[in-house]
Structure 1
Amino acid sequence: MKLFFSPDQLAHNPQKEISDGALVDAVEVPMRAEMVFDALTKLPQIDHVPMRDLGRAPIERVHDHDYVSFLEQLGELWADAGREGEAFPFVWPGRDFRTDKVPHHLDGKLGFYSFDAGTPLTGKTYGAAYASAQSALNGAQALVQGEQAAFALCRPPGHHAGKNYYGGYCFFNNAAVAAQYLRDQGAARVSIFDVDYHHGNGTQAIFYDRADVQFLSVHADPLEEYPYFLGHADECGVGEGEGHTHNYPLPLGTEAKAFKAAIEKGLAEIDRFDPDYLIISLGVDFFEGDPISQFKLTHADMPGIGALLKGAGRPTLLVMEGGYAVDDLGRNVAALIDGFLRS
């Protein structure tokens, strides 16, 4: 399995985030990727290969140009405003506010292009997020070139990012960028299966009205868990996309048996959709030791999850998403991928 990762993805290095009303140490940190990289490259089946820069255009096939430019310019805007440290928004357009005009003021821009206060931005964020998207694009290109499986070690993650907003530690939606690239390369249908403790709200929103990209997600019940406002079972798509979104919300405290049963339901829907390619948005924050999650899967469950996902029987790109138990993250991902490759 080819592994795609660039050291440029480590440049986004926030020190603080806002959580539970306090400024605390950031949890989406470069060490996450370093631990996963070190563990994966110890597997004999993994081949870390150089990446090509496939450009900004594939990213803007998914994300609005003005939003991409805002992320690119944020460091300069922040410095020009005489501010230091991480950038956080504090005001957002409410239900009756206008959203047809982007504010000129930096604080207005931050609110316009975000949906939470817990995702720190720095002057290095754009470069790292750009490189993360390139990892996903290179993985997708590998599938087009005939590989049956590839791993994009995307960090920062992506599945909470929408067309023109960031949040949940996500800036560019790596899985969505890869799916659109596969479509642009001639794939008739692509499935994205989001297997992460949190719902992939950004990915769902991007493809909600489309029939060519199927979205499925196994995650914690949004009535109880972030991102709260998407991910219910009755969200099935609209217009041409009706019937192509499938959500499997699970209660807090879910263990491996129920988690695997939900994955099996998703795999049955993927089989019915019959995609040319499968993208797995893989977060291992369903691990019992994760500091911001409340599922109860263990390290011993990881190989079985990997083997189950391999059962889709499609050319598959695995795109890294969440997982914040840093000391256990590498070994958990490696165990899951080893199970995937051995099945």
Structure 2
Amino acid sequence: MPMKAFFSPHHAGHRPSQTFRHGRIVANRDLPTRAENILTALRQDGHTLLNAAPHGMTPIAAVHTPEYLDFLEQAWVEWRKIEGASEDVFPYIFPVRGMDHGYPTSIVGRAGYHMHDCWAPIGEHTWAVARDSANLAVEAAEHLLKGERAVYALCRPSGHHAFPDMGGGNCFLNNAAIATQHLRRSFGRVALIDVDVHHGNGSQGVFWRRDDVLFVSLHRDPIDYHPYFAGHAHERGEGNGLGFNLNLPLPARTSDDAFLAALETACTRIAAFQAEALVVSLGVDAHEDDPTAGLAVTFNGFRRIGARLAALNLPTVLVQEGGYNMDTIARCVAGALAGFEGRETTAA
């Protein structure tokens, strides 16, 4: 029987119309259609689609700082008080390296302090929708704690670029990290693997000094690709976390066999870590036709990725991350879930 899938009917309240790319204001790729298309495919494949029970702020506050959560809650209202301000919150001044010791009171300064790029505009309903998205990940983790073997959370907005006190890259709350931390209530050692085309820099930041969580990321090499400043192979963690962070950067346009070879390395490390549970940041923007143009994984490649992760035989939460081709995202996700469950998908 297909796994349970959790979603929020309120996700469409977050609908940023614009973003900043290559010096120009352009259309934002994080459209509500992304989730709607996935929902259609999940229904076709017979998944049980469920809303999540409310879990409050405690699981979110276990990962994110009070200052940052207060900023997200207040940002849009405070921004709109500025005469002539844009409809959405867009940071435009950022801390200088080594000179970030003060904490501004102005919303302009706070926006730059708490956002690491211009790719996560905050609208009127963004805070509420981001909370709902994180709540889906907590609900999925709760079902694992109650004995489910695999659960999918259709989180939108995504989360893996969100640090404890910073958002960016279309991410505000780190859904996968929140699920991982929640699983630590019962599981001593949890692995978090990220297969999005972009490095999960926020997730790495959350667990950088931890030895109870193994973070592994497969992604396009950031030497010339977002997020540029994190995701390199030499980044291994720090303090107690040294050796509990594994980055597997891949050359541009890497396709199925090379990606799966890197995934084999990742799974070997997860097995050696003796993880008791697994969280998957399931980005599908590594697809060959995704507009991010980073890697070249095929539909069958995502099915194989799902099957290999299932072979770890761990209780697993799969959390939705990126994927921006409206014609391919649903089939990629459905294929990964079907591969995980060892069945066929009917999604076209």
TM over 0.5: yes
Q: Distance in 2 between matches of 1:275 and 1:56?
A: 27
Q: Is the 8 A contact 2:304 2:339 kept in 1?
A: yes
Q: Distance in 2 between matches of 1:315 and 1:215?
A: 16
Aligned with 2:8 (options 6, 9, 15) = 6
Match of residue 35 from structure 1 = 37
Q: Could you tell me how far 1:242 is from its partner in structure 2? A: 1.0
Match of residue 17 from structure 1 = 19
Q: Distance in 1 between matches of 2:10 and 2:304?
A: 32
Match of residue 59 from structure 1 = 60
Provide Cα deviations, 1:77-98, integer angstroms capped at 9, x if missing partner: 1222243422211111111313
Provide Cα deviations, 1:239-274, integer angstroms capped at 9, x if missing partner: 111111111000101011110001110000110111
Q: Distance in 1 between matches of 2:291 and 2:100?
A: 37
Q: Structure 1 runs of 4+ off > 4 angstroms?
A: none
Q: Distance in 2 between matches of 1:140 and 1:41?
A: 22
Match of residue 125 from structure 1 = 126
Match of residue 198 from structure 2 = 198
Q: Is the 8 A contact 1:18 1:119 kept in 2?
A: no
Q: Is the 8 A contact 2:159 2:171 kept in 1?
A: yes
3-state SS in 1 of match to 2:222: coil
Q: Is the 8 A contact 1:11 1:128 kept in 2?
A: yes
Q: Is the 8 A contact 2:91 2:118 kept in 1?
A: yes
Match of residue 116 from structure 1 = 117
Q: Is the 8 A contact 2:161 2:174 kept in 1?
A: yes
RMSD value, Cα: 1.1
Match of residue 337 from structure 1 = 337
Q: Is the 8 A contact 1:157 1:174 kept in 2?
A: yes
Q: Distance in 2 between matches of 1:302 and 1:229?
A: 27
1:262 is aligned to 2:262: yes
3-state SS in 1 of match to 2:144: helix
Q: Could you tell me how far 1:332 is from its partner in structure 2? A: 1.4
Q: Could you tell me how far 1:70 is from its partner in structure 2? A: 0.8
Provide Cα deviations, 1:287-326, integer angstroms capped at 9, x if missing partner: 0111113211122322212111111110000000011111
Q: Distance in 1 between matches of 2:327 and 2:123?
A: 25
State the AA in 2 paired with 1:5.
Answer: F
Aligned with 1:90 (options 89, 92, 106) = 92
Q: What TM-score, normalized by structure 1, do the two folds share?
A: 0.97
3-state SS in 2 of match to 1:108: helix
Q: Distance in 2 between matches of 1:136 and 1:300?
A: 26
Unaligned runs of 5+ in 2: 344-348
Q: Is the 8 A contact 1:9 1:127 kept in 2?
A: no
Q: Is the 8 A contact 1:9 1:132 kept in 2?
A: yes
Instruction: Report matched runs for 1:1-343 at 5 Å.
Output: 1-44=3-46, 46-82=47-83, 83-99=85-101, 101-183=102-184, 185-342=185-342
Q: Could you tell me how far 1:49 is from its partner in structure 2? A: 2.0
Q: Distance in 2 between matches of 1:128 and 1:98?
A: 29
Q: Distance in 2 between matches of 1:7 and 1:118?
A: 24
State the AA in 1 paired with 2:111.
Answer: L
Q: Distance in 2 between matches of 1:269 and 1:197?
A: 20
Q: Is the 8 A contact 1:253 1:294 kept in 2?
A: yes
Q: Distance in 1 between matches of 2:303 and 2:127?
A: 34
Q: Is the 8 A contact 2:145 2:186 kept in 1?
A: no
3-state SS in 2 of match to 1:288: coil
Q: Distance in 2 between matches of 1:118 and 1:171?
A: 11
Q: Is the 8 A contact 1:197 1:293 kept in 2?
A: no
Unaligned runs of 5+ in 1: none
Q: Distance in 2 between matches of 1:89 and 1:5?
A: 29
Provide Cα deviations, 1:13-33, integer angstroms capped at 9, x if missing partner: 011111111011110111111
Q: Distance in 1 between matches of 2:226 and 2:36?
A: 26
Q: Distance in 1 between matches of 2:253 and 2:327?
A: 21
Q: What TM-score, normalized by structure 2, do the two folds share?
A: 0.95
Q: Is the 8 A contact 2:253 2:293 kept in 1?
A: no
Q: Distance in 2 between matches of 1:123 and 1:257?
A: 43
